Structure 1
Amino acid sequence: MRPKIFVSLLLVALIAILPAAHADDVMQRARERGWLVVATAPAPDQLPQAAQDTSGQYSGFDVDVSNEIGHRLQLPVRFVSPGWNAVLAGDWKGQWDFAVASITPTEAREKHLIFAGIYRFDAATLVVRKGDDSIERPADASGKRIGVRKGTTFEDYLRQTLVIYDNPNAVTFLINDPKITTYPDRDEVVNALVDGKVDAIVTSLGLAEHDIAAGKPLRIVKGFLFFEPVAVATDKSDPKFAQLLGDTLRAMRTDGTLGTLSEKWFGIDVAGIVP
């Protein structure tokens, strides 16, 4: 009987360690590879957040944050642009290690992702064509045609289903019964407004200011719609790695690095805003 008991105990021990043996180890994989892979910049140009030029080089606040994380984890960083839906779906199968892609935490997204830490806050704003004085405040857009990128918190706001992560009372819905048109990427949203296909769009303040600086004939309507946190995310394969990222972000906030990078790209410390 003793051999059978020994074999049984051995099987129990093996079963107990199987999860650990099969658990993903992102840092080990990255060290073997020689670099960290970061998902960012779902669109070609989303400055000041992120952009990719014709040579394939990335720049922007999200890019600088990613590079600083890599520096502190003692690994260089390489970037990929897998697309918004692929990032939010989770289960990345090791194709990239973490995402710095302007992702707002929500309960629905938390089913597929781990939000390692907040690295900035975005102000959502309403934008109209320059010279259009029919919308002077957000409430004036009620019943109007409004364009928005599909699957974003901006769409949730217009549909009045938005719940800010860990702060359910943070949103006041100022626009009623809009005629919503969704687009697969942000460039189409902006072009629809410029071309008169919609009366207004909802986007982040930083991107709206970039559009105007780039010569788009647009105007930002006074009064923010809401503030939302933006997080670094991982899939659910390695919670310890997510914790490591969170610790790194907290150190970057404490020593002022996030604030310095924010002022470089936004002109203000959007990393330190507390709505």
Structure 2
Amino acid sequence: MFNKRKLVLITSMIMATALVFVGCGSKNNEINQKSNEVKETKSIRIGTSGGYFPFTFVENDVLQGFEIDVWNEIGERLDYDVEFVTSKFSGLFGMLDTDRIDSISNQIAITEERKEKYIFTTPYVYDGAQLVVKTGNDSIKSLEDLKGKKVGVSLGSNYEQIIREFDVNNEIEIITYDGGAMEQEVALGRIDAFLMDKLSSVELIKKTGLDLQLAGDPVAFNENAFPFVKNEKNEELIEKINTTIEEMRADGTLSEISEKWLEMDITKK
């Protein structure tokens, strides 16, 4: 009788011990799973010039602007860590091509040439290409008026492309700038005009107080979006970003960011 009781007691102890180990194993699995989830933190690298007020600029050593707010909101909604990488505009597409960044946020216009190489998100800004001249210069109103003149454009921008495609007979002296300075050159009368987006032009004139004015109506209209290298992974990511952009448009967040920086809504057609 004693032996039977002893056997039952030993068997119970063995089963209890086994349950403890099973329990520990489950907890270890949960810990490992959580550890793996931490390791899989999502991040995205966004290239920007940091020199295109009010869209992306540095003030008091802080990168800020319309583009920065838009991406911070996208990152928060998608649970992505957004890493901003600043570089001169002319180097951003090279960084994109060599996988040093995942996309560019710098008022990038969708063009047929770019669509051959990159896939774009849905547009988040609608804007126009605007000529700017020195105050009092009423001789320039259109691209046609640029013949025989010196015109500044940002190197590698769609604005450079607009001028070059128009100037088939090389009648315009096109001067490229890798960064700022072309607005000062126009204000000082060293070049005749520059071409950039209308909204930035208005804000630039307002902020700097330079002797500049808009010249005529926009010469072209742009739809701006975020470019990605063409691959299957990015196609899936863009679907998520597009959904988020449309949600931000529908709930008014895009409009709020636009009003904050531009005092107008540039996010709708």
TM-score, normalization by structure 2: 0.75
Q: Who is 1:144 aligned against?
A: 149
The SS at the match of 2:123 is strand
Q: Who is 1:82 aligned against?
A: 87
- Output the amino acid matched with 1:219: Q
Most deviating of 122-131 and 96-105: 96-105
Deviation per CA, 1:196-231, whole angstroms, max 9, x where unpaired?
Answer: 221111111122112211211111113111111000
Distance 2:126 2:267 in 1: 6
Shift in alpha-carbon separation, 1:233–1:30, aligned structure 2, 3 A? farther
Of 203, 211, 215 in structure 1, the residue corresponding to residue 204 of structure 2 is: 211
Deviation per CA, 1:83-132, whole angstroms, max 9, x where unpaired?
Answer: 43443244342x33332221112232234322022110121111111132
1:241 aligns with 2:237: yes
Distance 2:63 2:70 in 1: 12
Following superposition, the deviation at residue 33 of structure 1 comes to 5.3
Deviation per CA, 1:233-264, whole angstroms, max 9, x where unpaired?
Answer: 22234221122112211221222221221122
Q: Who is 1:24 aligned against?
A: none
Larger relative helix fraction: 2
In structure 2, list runs of 5 or more residues that go unmatched: 1-35
1:190 aligns with 2:196: no
**Is the Cα–Cα contact under 8 Å of residues 154 and 160 in structure 2 kept in the other structure?**
yes
- Output the amino acid matched with 1:203: M
Q: Who is 2:103 aligned against?
A: 98
Shift in alpha-carbon separation, 1:49–1:128, aligned structure 2, 3 A? same
**Is the Cα–Cα contact under 8 Å of residues 259 and 265 in structure 2 kept in the other structure?**
yes
The SS at the match of 1:191 is helix
**Is the Cα–Cα contact under 8 Å of residues 103 and 227 in structure 2 kept in the other structure?**
yes
Following superposition, the deviation at residue 36 of structure 1 comes to 3.1
Deviation per CA, 1:9-44, whole angstroms, max 9, x where unpaired?
Answer: xxxxxxxxxxxxxxxxxxx9997456432212x1x4
The SS at the match of 2:45 is strand
Distance 1:158 1:96 in 2: 28
Q: Who is 2:214 aligned against?
A: 220
Following superposition, the deviation at residue 148 of structure 1 comes to 1.4
Q: Identity of aligned pairs, percent?
A: 28
Most deviating of 144-153 and 60-69: 144-153
Distance 1:139 1:29 in 2: 59
Q: Who is 1:39 aligned against?
A: 47
- Output the amino acid matched with 2:47: A
Distance 1:183 1:176 in 2: 18
1:113 aligns with 2:118: yes
**Is the Cα–Cα contact under 8 Å of residues 90 and 178 in structure 2 kept in the other structure?**
no
The SS at the match of 2:133 is strand
Aligned residues between the structures = 230
Deviation per CA, 1:33-77, whole angstroms, max 9, x where unpaired?
Answer: 56432212x1x431121102242x211111111011001112342
In structure 1, list runs of 5 or more residues that go unmatched: 1-27, 162-172
Distance 1:221 1:180 in 2: 18
**Is the Cα–Cα contact under 8 Å of residues 142 and 219 in structure 2 kept in the other structure?**
no
TM-score, normalization by structure 1: 0.73
The SS at the match of 2:57 is strand
Q: Which has the larger radius of gyration?
A: 2
Q: Who is 1:7 aligned against?
A: none
**Is the Cα–Cα contact under 8 Å of residues 98 and 233 in structure 1 kept in the other structure?**
yes
